Amino acid sequence: MTERLQLAIPSKGRMMEQATGVLGEGGVNVRKTGNERGYRGEIEGIDNVDVLFVSASEIAWYLKTGKAHLGITGADLVQERMTDWETRVEFIKALGFGHADVVVAVPDCWLDVRRVAHLDELAGGFRTAHGRWFRVATKYVNLARQFFVGHGFNDYRIVESLGATEGTPAAGTADLIVDITTTGATLKANALRILDDGVILKSQANLVASNVAEWTPRIREAQNEIMSRLGV
């Protein structure tokens, strides 16, 4: 094994800029190796760290499988992609950007539905009237299921969504949604409302460590240097 710490950070856009910015503010200066379009980098002053520029949605997988020792990604992605995240990873530091909430939202015209318990109360009548259970559109399948189990709500069917989840009730392909939102403006524009007890997770970008990666003393030294610079 090459004794080099693998640090995965978002590969493009605002998430990459914010991740490298927060690291730089703490003295962990990331620079790309090769050319600016490359997907590898290094940290100034720490010679055994490889920076991997990875799609934000894949970083959780890198941590889950131990392909990366450390990664910067949202808590929502970690908890969605790892049902056993509490044993596989450790949240090291909340980084103060990428704030968003995973929520349950229903059509605003459902005036009598304010809480998850109301969905459970109406499920039987809904099935009698429509011949089916509630359809829930989401890309957060695991988070949705865990949340509904915790609230004793089981009378629904998941409709996996790959995009524009907020548009599915109006399109007739779902009855309610579980989605991520920052301001709620997109939900409001689509005549949707968050349930009063419908916030599943308040997420933000975190520095996360993999518990399943192979940690050698030399790699631990590199981690400790990064942690020291970041004040952890």
pLDDT tens by residue, 14-38: 999 999 999 999 999 999 887 666 6
Q: What is the pLDDT of residue 37?
A: 63
Instruction: Provide the residue ranges of all domains of the chain, joining segments of one domain with +.
Output: 5-99+204-230, 100-203
Q: Which residues pair with 50 in a beta bridge?
A: 6
Q: How far apart are CA 171 and CA 166, in angstroms?
A: 10
Is 108:187 a contact under the CB 8 Å cutoff?
A: no
Exposed/middle/buried for residue 217 (C-beta within 10 Å: 0-12, 13-18, 19+): exposed
Instruction: Look at residues 64, 61, 99 and name the one whose alpha carbon lies nearest to residue 84.
Output: 64
Adjacency order of strands within the sheet including 100-107: 156-160, 134-138, 176-181, 100-107, 192-203
pTM: predicted TM-score of the whole model, two decimal places: 0.91
The CA-based dihedral angle spanning residues 136, 73, 89, 157, taken in that order and rounded to the nearest 10 degrees = 10
Give mean pLDDT, residues 124-150.
96
Q: Write the CATH number of the domain with boundaries 5-99+204-230.
A: 3.40.190.10
Give mean pLDDT, residues 197-224.
97
Give the chain's mean pLDDT: 94
Q: What is the pLDDT of residue 33?
A: 86
Helix (H, G, I), strand (E, B) or coil at 93: strand
Q: Which residues pair with 180 in a beta bridge?
A: 102
Q: What is the pLDDT of residue 57?
A: 84
Instruction: Look at residues 45, 44, 54, 38 and name the one whose alpha carbon lies nearest to residue 6.
Output: 54
Q: What is the pLDDT of residue 193?
A: 97
Q: What is the pLDDT of residue 165?
A: 96
Assign residue 138 a region: left if phi > 0, alpha if psi is -120 to 50, beta otherwise?
Answer: beta
CA dihedral over 32, 35, 37, 40, signed as positive or negative: negative
Residue pLDDT, tens place only, 155-180:
999 999 988 999 999 999 999 999 99
Give mean pLDDT, residues 7-16.
93
Residue pLDDT, tens place only, 57-101:
899 999 999 999 999 999 999 999 998 999 999 999 999 999 999
Q: What is the pLDDT of residue 1?
A: 53
The enclosing H or E element of 148 equals helix 141-150
Q: Write the CATH number of the domain with boundaries 100-203.
A: 3.40.190.10
At 43, list the tokens.
């940290």
pLDDT band, residue 2 (cuts 50/70/90): confident
Q: What is the pLDDT of residue 38?
A: 65
Fold match flag (5-99+204-230 vs 100-203): yes
Q: What is the pLDDT of residue 122?
A: 95
Helix (H, G, I), strand (E, B) or coil at 181: strand
Q: How far apart are CA 143 and CA 136, in angstroms?
A: 12
Q: pLDDT at residue 198 above 90? A: yes
Instruction: Look at residues 11, 14, 8 and name the one whose alpha carbon lies nearest to residue 98.
Output: 14
Q: What is the pLDDT of residue 12?
A: 87
Spell out the residues 6+ positions from residue 188 whose beta carbon is closer than 8 angstroms to its own: none
